[in-house]
């Protein structure tokens, strides 16, 4: 890879973060200082509370009694998230890049539905997208020892990904053929009303879920179903074998590195080493690392 | 193994493929040239479309609205597949051998039902056999890096096959005894109407599918069912253990070889090495390898 | 272990098998000669047929049409098995020892019900015990390469047995506590009518079978059930891990030995090496080994 | 670790156990002498019997017939447990420490409900807490070879615990998002009446339990469910992989140590080595070890 030239284009954007913007940035986007960690912990607590409110609001009995309080709480949370969203936009060097990033879109989607529901009540249910913000939970865990485990899981799964994809495509073909067969054999009177429905049934059977909302009634159908269940049992072993073999291999080569939440001001990549000077993703110069003195190991 | 003598018997058949037949053969049967790969990709797209049409046609609500368009599309696909089938017959050296091969029969079965349904409408459902043509999907993936994973999975499963067979025969015996026991214990009033039905239930229980269309009602039946579930749980570990141990062993000895889709003109075996001169299956001389210049790794 | 003195007690019994008794013994009890193998294969075919008859007889629709033919076939099979049972008694040196062995009892149970059903019709269903005779299937497979796989599975499971027992006892305790909890929480109106029933439900939940005949209806019950399902998912990994680790270990140390079906005339132990002179179980002198010349590998 | 100073504070408590108190202590709390083992075995038998009585009492049909006998038996067991609880309090050096320990609380909870039910009948069901006393079962197994297996399982699970926690938190997030999605898609007419209920359904689907009390009815809902089942199947491999890899690693480093049930008189920690002089937990001097002469290996 060629070392990218420092992205100096816009004098306004290129100005390094400083003063209150740098402090805000360090608090909101990173979690290695005391304030940054407190902010993230508070954020997670508020997200969890907000989800609890949405969940409680969906229960008929609760809504009848506490409906007004829940609506009030929802507005408080929405305003909090709005303020946070604006603060995030203010303190990054390239607001547009943040706004179009994965977390930027989720942050926007977390506040939009409440406002839109004023005009289009049907959109109210979309508030639940908010739960995706919880993905930030791992940010905080990053500081704890959990991150090594998390990285271990992710890398083992990523290494197995291609094998699992091949495996899934084979399973999908089996499920298609089997579903069609059951559609022909069982006919439309026993719940196998269409091929998509039969495929849905076949998936629920091969994966050993077995809802039982649709079940074969004819002897031939039950024979095919028995065969599918035994087959599903046998090949259930395949993804397990893939992941296990991968994990056993990872165990041997895995060297745990202590990661940080240091974030590039330019492209918002996380995980820069404490002594790094340039972003490993976009090559921009990193500001000095702000770390908590007595950091919990 | 003795080196087989070159199969020179019929002067007509023995004439090596040349001219348009060779070009057609390379396009249709192999996938290492640009044209061959495009053909296979187009074929897969058409097969997928055709399956989508068959699936959509099986949904009552869709058929009522788009019935005519779907029937029309089905005929177009059938004609396309017919032309392709004839082209395949024309360009192979031994048409009969292709026609009686696994894929040859599937290719025929993919077009027959539509024609036969003109005379015997009940046969219409058989069109769905067409989905089996999707097995060719792996041909195209063969060029990609997926083939190493695919071979890894297949060889691990093949190596475990005998163990799994022994295991399955033991499970079948358990399921037979247990099913009979439940038939005797639960009697015919609780859904266990016959021994085959009870065995179907036993399989769904031991494999942890558990549809719930038939369930024990008596205390003794539930005790036996509880025992079966725990046992099923315990031995669920066996196929997983087999495959996992096999995969871990394969990982160590597996050396990835880049395979091709080069196909023997004589016996239609695939996967000959790029520098091979004779078919490793029937010993016939292979034509020069036609490969795309800038092949994607 | 001390080398046991040769069990010379009864001059009649101690007389080594010879003449027709030895030939019959070799045919019926061993499977390494041509005749012995043919006998075992025929026996398995007859057992399978006999089970098919019992299964078909249990289906209402079949019994109405072919009832008489099935009853006739059942009597033929019963007579065949009776003759075989008497032949087995005749050719062993110690008939009582055979009659009280595991297979001896099963062989008797396989013929008794049909006779007893003449006097007590209710006993008819017991004929199904006959399926247990199929356990002899492994005798024939023993000659094939399947026996190594079989021994591998059995030894891996035996080595894991103690761990799985500890694990199962822990699971049973969890299931007892959880079942009682659900009995208290859900009450008797939602199907959790007694603690045994609740434990049955808890087992079906923890093992991920999930019949759905009994399901929690209250919010607290569903919370507990959700917790149980996640827990069951987590600990589902334990038996798999046990067996897999055991199998991986066995793979390394396992040395496949070609076993025989050579059977001790004294204590009916199987699997003596082809060049053994004394039974490894009771120390009795083994007769010369009778093996098929061109034995299939 | 600093060697703690001997906890000499109260002259009464500090007096080492002697005479009948020491003998009682050795019998009740330890299980390495003949009497101690007999006591534990009897205790387990009584607990099992007591649970059987509670279970039988919950079955309507049994209660109607044997109701009085069961109530009588329950009182006998309760009195036995009460006597045992008092004996335990008497013979330990620090009764309060025992009373507030895990097993101390369970021992109290095992007897309280029967007495309280005299005044508040609703508390009767709480007797079932008694089953938790069965956790002592492992005490007796400790003497047998089972303890090595038990320690192996526990240490493998403990080592995997953090990975499984990270994994479970990811699963919970997935289940929350999926449950909410199904609540929006399926609406309240198909059983997905609230978000908590939908999450309960999502957990039962991802864990492949699949009760079938709530099932998707719309095509979109079934599509999402199919996706969830396949995903659940794929990630079912993760905990298995974690535990298996851990167990395989443990196998290599695990050195089986013969443990005892020798218990510190001060802090009630178990498992002190036979030749230890001080408690490894609180540093108190251990009394001489009382072991059975011909101890079963």
Q: Note whether residue C197 is domain-resident.
A: yes
Chain B residues in contact with A241 by the CB 8 A cut-off are: 156, 240, 243-244, 246-247
* Min distance B146 CA to chain A CA atoms (Å): 7
β-bridge partners, C285:
C278
The tens digit of pLDDT for each residue in D126-150 reads: 666 666 666 665 555 544 455 566 6
Nearest to D239 among C181, C223, C237 (CB): C237
Asked whether the beta carbons of residue B211 and residue C213 sit closer than 8 angstroms, the reply is no
Asked whether the beta carbons of residue A244 and residue D245 sit closer than 8 angstroms, the reply is yes
- The set of chains that have 3 or more CB pairs under 8 A with A is B, C, D
Domain boundary among C125, C141, C157: C141
Look up tokens 């002067």; give the residue: B11
| Pair C137, C150 in one domain | no
The tens digit of pLDDT for each residue in C242-254 reads: 778 777 776 665 4
- 8 Å CB contact between B222 and B191: no
- 8 Å CB contact between C77 and C57: no
* Predicted pLDDT at B294: 41
Cα separation, C200 vs B231, in Å, equals 14
* Min distance D114 CA to chain C CA atoms (Å): 16
Tell me what the mean pLDDT of segment B112-119 comes to.
78
Q: In Å, how far are C126, D13, D293 from C101, measured between CA atoms? A: 20, 62, 39
* Predicted pLDDT at B113: 75
Q: Does B71 touch chain C (CB under 8 A)?
A: no
Asked whether the beta carbons of residue C59 and residue B240 sit closer than 8 angstroms, the reply is no
Tell me what the mean pLDDT of segment C186-205 comes to.
85
Nearest to D153 among C163, C215, C234 (CB): C163
* Predicted pLDDT at A270: 63
Is the pLDDT assigned to residue B251 strictly greater than 80? Answer: no
What is the C-alpha end-to-end distance of chain D, expressed in Å? 34
Q: Note whether residue A28 is domain-resident.
A: yes
Tell me what the mean pLDDT of segment C236-243 comes to.
77
* Predicted pLDDT at D171: 83
The tens digit of pLDDT for each residue in B34-57 reads: 888 788 888 888 888 888 888 888
| Pair B164, B201 in one domain | yes
Is the pLDDT assigned to residue B144 strictly greater than 50? Answer: no
Domain count, chain A: 2
| Pair B31, B128 in one domain | yes
Q: Does B240 touch chain D (CB under 8 A)?
A: yes
Tell me what the mean pLDDT of segment B251-268 comes to.
58
Is the pLDDT assigned to residue D79 strictly greater than 80? Answer: yes
Asked whether the beta carbons of residue C173 and residue D243 sit closer than 8 angstroms, the reply is no
Instruction: Check residues C36 and D141 and name the one with the higher pLDDT.
Output: C36
Chain B residues in contact with D209 by the CB 8 A cut-off are: 210
Q: Does D273 touch chain A (CB under 8 A)?
A: no
Tell me what the mean pLDDT of segment B247-260 comes to.
57
Angle between helix A219-253 and helix A195-206 axes, rounded to 10 deg: 50
* Predicted pLDDT at A136: 62
The tens digit of pLDDT for each residue in B1-35 reads: 344 444 444 444 545 667 788 888 888 877 677 88
| Pair C191, C84 in one domain | no
Look up tokens 């002089």; give the residue: D277
Is the pLDDT assigned to residue D176 strictly greater than 70? Answer: yes
- To probe the interface with C, which of B210, B225, B250 has the most C CB atoms within 10 Å? B210
Tell me what the mean pLDDT of segment A191-216 comes to.
88
Nearest residue to D236 (alpha-carbon basis) of D171, D161, D145: D171
* Predicted pLDDT at B200: 92
* Predicted pLDDT at D274: 62
- To probe the interface with A, which of C204, C229, C244, C252 has the most A CB atoms within 10 Å? C244
The pLDDT confidence band at residue C19, using thresholds 50, 70 and 90, is: confident
The tens digit of pLDDT for each residue in A33-77 reads: 788 878 888 888 888 888 888 888 888 888 889 888 988 888 898
- Touching B: A residues 103-132, CB under 8 Å: none
| Pair D160, D202 in one domain | yes
Instruction: Check residues D192 and C153 and name the one with the higher pLDDT.
Output: D192
The pLDDT confidence band at residue A202, using thresholds 50, 70 and 90, is: very high
Of the listed ranges A62-66, B75-79, C163-167, the least confidently predicted one is C163-167
Q: Note whether residue B290 is domain-resident.
A: no
* Predicted pLDDT at D144: 46
Asked whether the beta carbons of residue C225 and residue D200 sit closer than 8 angstroms, the reply is yes
* Min distance D214 CA to chain B CA atoms (Å): 13
Cα separation, D192 vs A139, in Å, equals 32
Cα separation, B195 vs B175, in Å, equals 11
Nearest residue to A285 (alpha-carbon basis) of A271, A297, A295, A272: A272
Q: Note whether residue B259 is domain-resident.
A: no
Nearest residue to B48 (alpha-carbon basis) of B113, B123, B133: B133
| Pair C236, C156 in one domain | yes
Q: Does C237 touch chain B (CB under 8 A)?
A: no
Tell me what the mean pLDDT of segment D29-49 comes to.
81
- 8 Å CB contact between A116 and A123: yes
Domain limits for position D193: 146-253
Tell me what the mean pLDDT of segment C61-66 comes to.
87
Average pLDDT score, chain D: 74
* Predicted pLDDT at A123: 62
| Pair D64, D107 in one domain | yes
Q: Does D190 touch chain C (CB under 8 A)?
A: no
| Pair B90, B177 in one domain | no
DSSP 8-class letter at B285: B
* Min distance B234 CA to chain A CA atoms (Å): 13
Secondary structure (H, E, C), chain D: CCCCCCCCCCHHHHCCCCHHHHHHHHHHHCCCCHHHHHHHHHHHHHHHHHHHHHHHHHCHHHHHHHHHHHHHHHHHHHHHHHHHHHHHHHHCCCHHHHHCCHHHHHHHHHHHHHHHCCCCHHHHHHHHHHHHHHHHHHHHHHHCCHHHHHHHHHHHHHHHHHHHHHHHHHHHHHHHHHHHHHHHHHCHHHCCCCHHHHHHHHHHHHCCCCCCCCCCCCHHHHHHHHHHHHHHHHHHHHHHHHHHHHHHHHHHHCCCCCCCCCCCCCCCCCCCCCCCCECCCCCCECCCCCCCCCCCC
Of the listed ranges B159-163, D9-13, D181-185, D193-197, the least confidently predicted one is D9-13
Q: Note whether residue D32 is domain-resident.
A: yes
Q: Note whether residue D75 is domain-resident.
A: yes
- To probe the interface with A, which of B50, B56, B58 has the most A CB atoms within 10 Å? B58
Tell me what the mean pLDDT of segment C116-137 comes to.
66
Average pLDDT score, chain B: 74
* Predicted pLDDT at A111: 80
Smallest CA–CA distance from C152 into chain B, residue = B163
Is the pLDDT assigned to residue B229 strictly greater than 50? Answer: yes
- To probe the interface with A, which of B123, B136, B201, B209 has the most A CB atoms within 10 Å? B209
Chain D residues in contact with B244 by the CB 8 A cut-off are: 244
* Predicted pLDDT at A280: 61
DSSP 8-class letter at C125: G
Q: Note whether residue B258 is domain-resident.
A: no
* Predicted pLDDT at A201: 92
The pLDDT confidence band at residue A200, using thresholds 50, 70 and 90, is: very high
Domain boundary among D141, D170, D190: D141
Is the pLDDT assigned to residue A259 strictly greater than 60? Answer: no
Of the listed ranges A87-101, B61-75, C253-267, the least confidently predicted one is C253-267
* Predicted pLDDT at C6: 46
Is the pLDDT assigned to residue D267 strictly greater than 60? Answer: yes
Asked whether the beta carbons of residue B208 and residue D208 sit closer than 8 angstroms, the reply is yes
* Predicted pLDDT at C261: 62
Chain A residues in contact with C240 by the CB 8 A cut-off are: 240
The pLDDT confidence band at residue C7, using thresholds 50, 70 and 90, is: very low
Q: Does D230 touch chain A (CB under 8 A)?
A: yes
Instruction: Please count the CA atoms within 13 angstroms of the CA of D244 that sit on its side-chain side.
Output: 39
| Pair C133, C33 in one domain | yes
CATH code (residue C115): 1.20.120
Is the pLDDT assigned to residue C11 strictly greater than 50? Answer: no
Q: Does D173 touch chain C (CB under 8 A)?
A: no
Domain boundary among C141, C162, C197: C141
Is the pLDDT assigned to residue B110 strictly greater than 60? Answer: yes
| Pair B121, B212 in one domain | no
Q: Is the dihedral of CA D197, D203, D205, D210 positive or negative?
A: negative
* Predicted pLDDT at B201: 92
- The set of chains that have 3 or more CB pairs under 8 A with C is A, B, D
Is the pLDDT assigned to residue D293 strictly greater than 60? Answer: no
Average pLDDT score, chain A: 74
pTM of the model: 0.76
* Predicted pLDDT at D200: 92
Tell me what the mean pLDDT of segment A73-92 comes to.
88
The tens digit of pLDDT for each residue in D194-225 reads: 888 889 999 999 888 888 888 898 888 899 99
Q: Note whether residue A270 is domain-resident.
A: no
What is the C-alpha end-to-end distance of chain C, expressed in Å? 34
Secondary structure (H, E, C), A35-55: HHHHHHHHHHHHHHHHHHHHH
Instruction: Check residues D61 and C11 and name the one with the higher pLDDT.
Output: D61
The pLDDT confidence band at residue A253, using thresholds 50, 70 and 90, is: low
Nearest to A195 among B54, B135, B153 (CB): B54
The pLDDT confidence band at residue D44, using thresholds 50, 70 and 90, is: confident
- 8 Å CB contact between B271 and B281: no
Nearest residue to C289 (alpha-carbon basis) of C15, C14, C26, C88: C26
Q: Is the ipTM of this complex over 0.90?
A: no
- 8 Å CB contact between B263 and B251: no
| Pair B193, B81 in one domain | no
* Min distance C42 CA to chain D CA atoms (Å): 42
CATH code (residue C237): 1.10.287.70
| Pair B26, B134 in one domain | yes
Chain A residues in contact with B171 by the CB 8 A cut-off are: 230
Of the listed ranges B49-58, B152-161, D46-55, the least confidently predicted one is B152-161
């Amino acid at each position: 890879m060629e070392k990218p030239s420092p992205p100096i284009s816009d004098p306004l954007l290129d100005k390094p973060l400083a003063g209150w913007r740098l402090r805000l940035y360090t608090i909101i986007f990173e979690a290695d200082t005391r304030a940054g960690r407190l902010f993230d912990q508070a954020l997670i607590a508020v997200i969890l509370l907000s989800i609890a409110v949405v969940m409680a609001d969906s229960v008929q009995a609760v809504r009848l009694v506490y409906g007004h309080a829940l609506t009030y709480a929802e507005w408080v949370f929405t305003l909090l998230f709005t303020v946070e969203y604006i603060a995030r936009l203010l303190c990054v060097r390239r607001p547009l890049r943040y706004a179009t990033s994965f977390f930027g879109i989720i942050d926007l989607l977390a506040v939009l539905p409440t406002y839109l529901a004023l005009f289009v009540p049907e959109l109210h249910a979309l508030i639940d997208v908010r739960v995706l913000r919880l993905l930030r939970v791992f940010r905080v865990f990053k500081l704890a020892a959990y991150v090594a485990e998390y990285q271990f899981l992710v890398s083992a799964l990523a290494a197995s990904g291609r094998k699992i994809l091949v495996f899934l495509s084979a399973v999908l073909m089996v499920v298609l053929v089997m579903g069609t067969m059951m559609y022909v054999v069982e006919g439309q009177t026993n719940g196998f009303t269409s091929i998509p429905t039969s495929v849905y049934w076949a998936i629920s059977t091969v994966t050993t879920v077995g809802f039982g909302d649709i079940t074969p009634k004819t002897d031939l159908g039950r024979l095919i179903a028995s065969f599918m269940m035994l087959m599903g049992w046998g090949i259930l072993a395949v993804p397990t074998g893939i992941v296990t073999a991968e994990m056993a291999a990872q165990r041997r080569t895995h060297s745990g590195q202590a990661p940080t939440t240091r974030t590039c001001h330019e492209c918002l990549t996380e995980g820069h080493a404490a002594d790094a000077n340039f972003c490993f993703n976009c090559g921009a110069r990193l500001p000095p690392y702000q770390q908590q003195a007595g950091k919990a190991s």
